[in-house]
Amino acid sequence: MTYDVRYGVFPPAVVSSGGNEARGEAFRLCPDDPAPAPDRYRSVHAFHVVPDTQGPSARVVTERPLGPRVSGHAAVYRVEDPSGALLGRITMRRRRSFRPGRTRWTVEPAAGPALRGYRGRLVWWALWWPVGLVVSLLWAITSLLGEGDGGFGPPRRVIWRDGTGRAHLVFRGLADDYRVLTPGWDPRLVTALVALHQSFDPSDGAGALGWYQGGNRRGL
């Protein structure tokens, strides 16, 4: 099953397609109204995952906002069903200041193994720092001069694996989609992960601030 975000509709939708486990479906991303007070790191989120067809929804709330890089405090989000029962937790931990590392995303389903995924592969980061960063800066300069589109960035691919190293979910940065590799996943939990990930590492169509902070709140 493959998931991708549609920014051309309002509210934005996460759409699944393919796979033999279930038919494709769409979930709307609807920020809560009133929205929680924003924090300095834009990490406080509260939104509903609402299916386009008849079916149960889910709610995502912030258990702990993101801390400064020097602290290493991660942002923690709780995903609940309509009755308030836990579907899972999603944690985002950024690389700490002045230390090597990568942004880490952790998914902990209420039933099932916890998965960890890191932004970018080590081999591509090893190439990015001496080569890609320079190219990115040159690309940014040409974009400011009106000669480029700013379309070059650091590695984005994320592979979520369990404790044995088995891959369950993959975000493909170039394709901007999410592939579920193993059966049994609640689509609401996957949608919540996609929505949170896209709010911190958005696709080009979402703007620099992502779907949650990028002005998609009109009419709510």
pLDDT digits (tens, 9 = 90+) for 177-192: 999 999 999 999 999 9
Average pLDDT of span 125-141: 55
Count of C-beta atoms within a 10 Å radius of residue 124: 14
Q: What is the value of pTM for the model shown?
A: 0.84
pLDDT digits (tens, 9 = 90+) for 104-119: 999 999 998 999 999 8
Distance between CA atoms of residues 154 and 183, nearest Å: 31
